[in-house]
């Protein structure tokens, strides 16, 4: 397998869990987009604004997120995103699914 194939697989895996990671971040605390990006980058999930904003909009349109504007001491007001009840339920379901996937992958690796 070439390096480019491995990089492509890694990229696809990251994209597959990005929504889950965003909901997980917002499950801990309300956050604005730059803070979400920073949290993802700290976890070595490299995401750009052009990927994040459409995903946040889609999650909001699906009723999983809400937002509010807050004044900032360091520039313009910030849009803080938070989970709705539907978003909390989705996160709980994703937690269960993630644990099942990890368990299955570990079982396959052990055989």
pLDDT at position 20: 96
Q: Domain containing 24: what range?
A: 3-110
Task: Measure the CA–CA gap between 52 and 107, rounded to whole angstroms.
Answer: 33
pLDDT at position 101: 92
- Residue 17 CB contacts under 8 Å (≥ 6 apart), including other chains: 98
pLDDT at position 64: 98
pLDDT at position 16: 79
pLDDT at position 11: 78
- CATH number for the domain including 71? 1.10.10.10
Q: How many domains does the chain have?
A: 1
pLDDT at position 33: 95
Per-residue tens of pLDDT for the chain, all 111 residues? 787 788 888 778 887 799 999 999 999 999 999 999 999 999 988 888 899 999 999 999 999 999 999 998 888 999 999 999 999 999 999 999 999 999 999 999 998
Q: Are strands 65-72 and 31-32 parallel, antiparallel or unpaired?
A: unpaired
């Amino acid at each position: 397998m070439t390096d480019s194939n491995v990089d492509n697989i890694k990229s696809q895996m990251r994209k597959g869990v990005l929504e889950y990671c965003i909901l997980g971040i917002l499950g801990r605390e309300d956050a604005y987009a730059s803070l979400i990006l920073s949290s993802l980058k700290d976890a070595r999930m490299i995401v750009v604004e052009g990927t994040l904003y459409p995903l946040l909009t889609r999650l909001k349109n699906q009723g999983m997120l809400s937002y509010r504007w807050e004044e900032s001491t360091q520039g313009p007001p910030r849009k803080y995103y938070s989970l709705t009840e539907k978003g909390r339920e989705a996160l709980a379901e994703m937690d269960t699914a993630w644990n099942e996937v990890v368990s299955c992958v570990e079982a396959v690796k052990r055989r």
